[in-house]
Structure 1
């Protein structure tokens, strides 16, 4: 269930809002990209999702300012809101309980429909070692769209300049290969978490876009920045254009993404050098 941070406030209405959520996937790229959105847009935490399918977690606020001392906590699945941009973000910080993912998909679909979201955007990643030959060079970003989204002009815009997004290449199943099929239809997203199954679950009833990057495990902060930037080119959430005077001189530099303080701890503390004396 969704639990509001302030139960005294009126239940939120998110009609015509865009819902963005990450999949717990290889390199945590989607989750890191969502971190950037929350931090840069100064999104308000409006509640959390408590569901039996997600492992419990509690921790310090990853977006707290180093000069503040408000002692906020976060859970395994928090919900953030930006009224200005009409965007709601789900940040999932813990994986699913084995065998329980389908329960969460069913609940989430009902919640999205109940809240009347305009569209769902899923950020995920896929194992780079599983790429096709055609995917090894060039743009490492791909997208998938639901049938509801394909019926709008949005997909045509995504495929056209200046975005130039590429559709994820389909593959043949083993049965299709045996039958000599020349038209692959299978969607293959290894390491992509809930993204594919959620697209299939929700795609029949609402506009859904899955945006993914090919990557490997490691320091995936740059992958996250790239993914968030490509998403921003479409949704235009963060003004990335420098401000100029009439003579062309820049008066306000490119703002860029606000990196959360929690990213300083991605790899833990440095080794105490006195150990080697």
Structure 2
């Protein structure tokens, strides 16, 4: 019996949807990018997920200060108009239980007839060997529906190590990618080289990169003008120092 609990608030039809999953990685770029997507697309929370793989986190709604609901370590959001699902993580995974949870995540995507999984991640800036190339790298499984588009865009492919994906500082992205391949679920890993610090610009860059393969824009072609920062980002680096210390 699974120790993971998927609490869906409604019997939502997720057929043909793209599932976006952030890997807890250097600079938290994937999580920040997912925050931008959820806030900008006004996505609806459709489920909460509980698992021994999660470090417990509980707080107010990070996208609506007037909301009376609380948010936890892992939640599922949906944008029906774009047929996008985002699984947002707000804490690292416990290594002992991580693979079991990720395997069940992929099985859940298959059960709900989702089209594919996109993993957003990051890697240490000093691992970037060719400085003059794009700061982004990707790994796409054979079944990935974006392969031809990516080849046309001339994205830089991740260099495999002994036919396996290895992203330094990339969290669980390589594990999830291998599970998707084993279970024949189309998967794309997209990551950016970065350093710890203010990684908000990296999140914006990640969304712009995603725009090349996903329909994220509304009536206007300028995606940046449509992105809405979550209210929770106002406290991203804590409160300002008290004025009476000066």
TM-score by length of 2: 0.92
Counterparts in 2 of 1:139 and 1:209: CA distance versus 1, 3 Å = same
Q: For residues 2-17 of structure 1, what are the structure 2 equivalents within 5 Å?
A: 2-4=6-8, 6=9, 9=10, 11-17=11-17
Q: Match of 2:141?
A: 146
Q: How many residues align?
A: 240
Give the counterpart of 2:94 among 97, 103, 125. 97
Whole-Å Cα distance in 2 between the matches of residues 236 and 98 of structure 1? 34
Whole-Å Cα distance in 2 between the matches of residues 230 and 60 of structure 1? 30
Whole-Å Cα distance in 2 between the matches of residues 155 and 110 of structure 1? 23
Whole-Å Cα distance in 2 between the matches of residues 3 and 186 of structure 1? 34
Whole-Å Cα distance in 1 between the matches of residues 102 and 221 of structure 2? 37
The Cα of 1:164 is off from its aligned counterpart by: 2.9
Whole-Å Cα distance in 1 between the matches of residues 72 and 39 of structure 2? 17
Q: Match of 1:202?
A: 180
Question: SS at 1:90's partner residue?
Answer: strand
- 2:232 aligned with 1:262: yes
Whole-Å Cα distance in 2 between the matches of residues 57 and 131 of structure 1? 33
Unmatched segments (≥5 aa) in structure 2: none
Whole-Å Cα distance in 2 between the matches of residues 187 and 114 of structure 1? 26
Unmatched segments (≥5 aa) in structure 1: 172-183, 243-252
Whole-Å Cα distance in 2 between the matches of residues 274 and 50 of structure 1? 43
Whole-Å Cα distance in 2 between the matches of residues 210 and 195 of structure 1? 7
Counterparts in 2 of 1:186 and 1:97: CA distance versus 1, 3 Å = closer
Whole-Å Cα distance in 2 between the matches of residues 102 and 185 of structure 1? 20
Which runs of structure 1 show a deviation greater than 3 angstroms over 4 or more consecutive aligned residues?
Answer: none
Give the counterpart of 2:198 among 202, 219, 222. 219
Give the counterpart of 1:229 among 201, 208, 211. 208
Q: For residues 115-134 of structure 1, what are the structure 2 equivalents within 5 Å?
A: 115-132=112-129, 134=130
8 Å Cα contact 2:31-2:88 kept in structure 1? yes
8 Å Cα contact 1:41-1:238 kept in structure 2? no
Q: Match of 1:241?
A: 221
Whole-Å Cα distance in 1 between the matches of residues 238 and 217 of structure 2? 30
Question: SS at 1:56's partner residue?
Answer: coil
Question: SS at 1:227's partner residue?
Answer: helix
Q: Match of 1:187?
A: 165
Counterparts in 2 of 1:241 and 1:45: CA distance versus 1, 3 Å = same
TM-score by length of 1: 0.82
Whole-Å Cα distance in 2 between the matches of residues 256 and 139 of structure 1? 24
Whole-Å Cα distance in 2 between the matches of residues 70 and 100 of structure 1? 32
The Cα of 1:261 is off from its aligned counterpart by: 1.1
Question: SS at 1:223's partner residue?
Answer: helix
Question: SS at 1:30's partner residue?
Answer: helix
